[in-house]
A and B are shown apart, each in its own frame.
Chain A
């Protein structure tokens, strides 16, 4: 292991991600230029689309909700030294779980009790789908990176099978479920603000955003303030100190993955119970993968995750507007940009670290 060049905390947490983001943005600008678009115009359209109206902001926050959940999922596992690439598949299964639990409970109640039931269903399914790769790593030594990738493919296949053959809407050619009961649908932000006397536009933004912020706080307490989190981070250092300290590392790895999967399930709660009100095929739309970028960019800290989720939310909403206004551009631009961000933040870390350290050292003589 190469010891990273130490930097002051503010440079490490703020400057480094911003420099990496700038590099990724530069590459994206070149790309836009290459396909005959004016990057400055594109940026203006994106900014206007994401932040220029109440509606734009609502959509931005709705996307950010997904990214906070998947970003937290990746970040929590990362602290335990586990690189969970499976948030996408975990959320897919969580959506199925939410629907199954809600459909099962609907004959008993139609009230808002369905909401916790749906959330629990999502969390259980997400947690189990993540815990299996965790178990395979802890007890069988298979690398969680590869197994979570395989579990993403499996989740996609299983969900198609279930949506077509088992829980699909009868008489529909679309692989999707029927709508969940009204009581299981999360309150929209419009309704919540309306109850407080504020008027706001209709957007997909819903109560799940509040849940995401609560989850971020809970993750912060768990990782940085609790004994459990201390043990988790000790495992994440990669040496045998955790075993030496008397921690049951295998159990902790499974637990960490299960928690990570339960966090990824939040994305399914937002989409299935908050927006679509049913399970649609591929409702995860790659948000799980973007979560990797969000976590790396946010330095795996819950506050950083929220900030970078907001940034990516704005990118998604702005990118959607851009794709709408400029037919040459699709939302794949955002996937490309996420890839660039992961590359610059995660793999090219050293690129700026050394020059930056030298620059900062020069400014402080002695």
Chain B
């Protein structure tokens, strides 16, 4: 493999990892604060849809991005309402919102575009332009988001409180800080980041919206979060690695490898899921989630 194609693979690997990075950081904020987020997938899908609609209507990609962030945050707030205010089951809420997003985007897509749920192809200013190294602004934003997340979690008041809320919310409450507000803050951040992830999909990587276009990326991001043991920089690198695998897989499609022959496309498609299963099974080290993640906070008597 020559240097040129190596650079191409790295470039396309970064490009492909951007939605994963945003979604993974979203999951990081949410789960660090104690709210398990199975709904990354649904938020991304909702954002991809809203971004495509807004960009199609206005012709401006960035208006699309903001619309995507708004839609995803709205869905996130629903999850927050169920998980924080109503102390509901966070996993069930996530599953429900994933289904809601899948149904709603397809239905509304059909109503708005009348093309079987997909949007018409986006062109020109309605798409995110390439800036440098084959990357759109989203790639640089993703790197910045990872940097800011790492800094904020480790070195700021908000980060300290979020981390504490995910480990021992009672201690936060006792220190006179509202667990509810902290968790809502984290959930909103997660919504905004998932919005960026979804907008990247429909305005950057594809030229428009397709039903179910996230195709499990939200769950791959969740797996990356677990593999990274809920830390910002490892999360970034894990997502980059997944993106690279994806890029390599695309390269290998239809190529007959010496001694092995052509690899069926399904085998390549299955890789991220198999990888996730192996990761989760702890064959590559144990991952311990934030202790209070998934449990609604109830004041003790």
- A and B in direct contact, judged by CB atoms within 8 A: yes
Are A347 and B89 neighbours in the complex by a CB distance under 8 Å?
yes
Pick from B82, B106, B110, B282: contact of A343, CB under 8 Å: B82
**Which residues does chain B contribute within 8 Å of A342, judged by CB atoms?**
92, 95-96, 99
Pick from B78, B101, B280: contact of A136, CB under 8 Å: B280
**Which residues does chain A contribute within 8 Å of B223, judged by CB atoms?**
146, 150
User: Please, how many angstroms separate the alpha-carbon atoms of A255 and B38 in the complex?
Assistant: 26
**Which residues does chain A contribute within 8 Å of B156, judged by CB atoms?**
none
Scan residues 319-366 of chain A and give those whose CB is less than 8 A from a CB of chain B.
328-330, 332-343, 346-351
Scan residues 254-301 of chain B and give those whose CB is less than 8 A from a CB of chain A.
264, 266-267, 269-270, 273-274, 276-277, 280-283, 286, 295-296, 298
Known: A146-B223, A154-B273, A347-B83. A1 touches B102 (CB 8 A): no
Residue of B87, B107, B108 with most chain A CB atoms under a 10 A cut-off: B107
User: Please, how many angstroms separate the alpha-carbon atoms of A212 and B282 in the complex?
Assistant: 38
Are B296 and A2 neighbours in the complex by a CB distance under 8 Å?
yes
B282 to chain A minimum Cβ distance, whole angstroms, is: 5
Are B96 and A140 neighbours in the complex by a CB distance under 8 Å?
no
Q: Is the interface of B mostly helix, strand, loop or mixed?
A: helix
Are B95 and A350 neighbours in the complex by a CB distance under 8 Å?
no
Residue of B96, B104, B223, B274 with most chain A CB atoms under a 10 A cut-off: B96
Q: Total A-B residue pairs with C-beta atoms closer than 8 Å?
A: 145
Tell me if A92 is interfacial: C-beta within 8 Å of chain B. Answer: no
**Which residues does chain A contribute within 8 Å of B280, judged by CB atoms?**
136, 140, 142-143, 146-147, 150
A5 to chain B minimum Cβ distance, whole angstroms, is: 11
Are B281 and A140 neighbours in the complex by a CB distance under 8 Å?
yes
Pick from A35, A83, A150, A338: contact of B276, CB under 8 Å: A150
Residue total for B at the interface (Cβ-Cβ under 8 A): 49
Residue of B89, B95, B277 with most chain A CB atoms under a 10 A cut-off: B95
Are B102 and A160 neighbours in the complex by a CB distance under 8 Å?
no
User: Please, how many angstroms separate the alpha-carbon atoms of A292 and B92 in the complex?
Assistant: 9
Cβ-closest chain B residue relative to A161: B266
**Which residues does chain B contribute within 8 Å of A161, judged by CB atoms?**
264, 266-267
Show 29 residue pairs from A and B whose CB-CB distance is below 8 angstroms, ordered by the A residue: A31-B107, A35-B111, A142-B282, A145-B38, A146-B219, A147-B277, A147-B280, A149-B219, A150-B223, A150-B276, A150-B280, A153-B219, A154-B273, A161-B267, A332-B107, A332-B110, A336-B104, A338-B99, A339-B100, A339-B104, A340-B96, A342-B99, A343-B93, A346-B93, A347-B82, A347-B90, A348-B86, A348-B88, A349-B88
Given A2-B298, A149-B216, 10 more A-B residue pairs with CB atoms under 8 Å apart are A142-B282, A143-B280, A145-B38, A146-B276, A336-B103, A339-B103, A343-B97, A346-B93, A349-B89, A350-B87
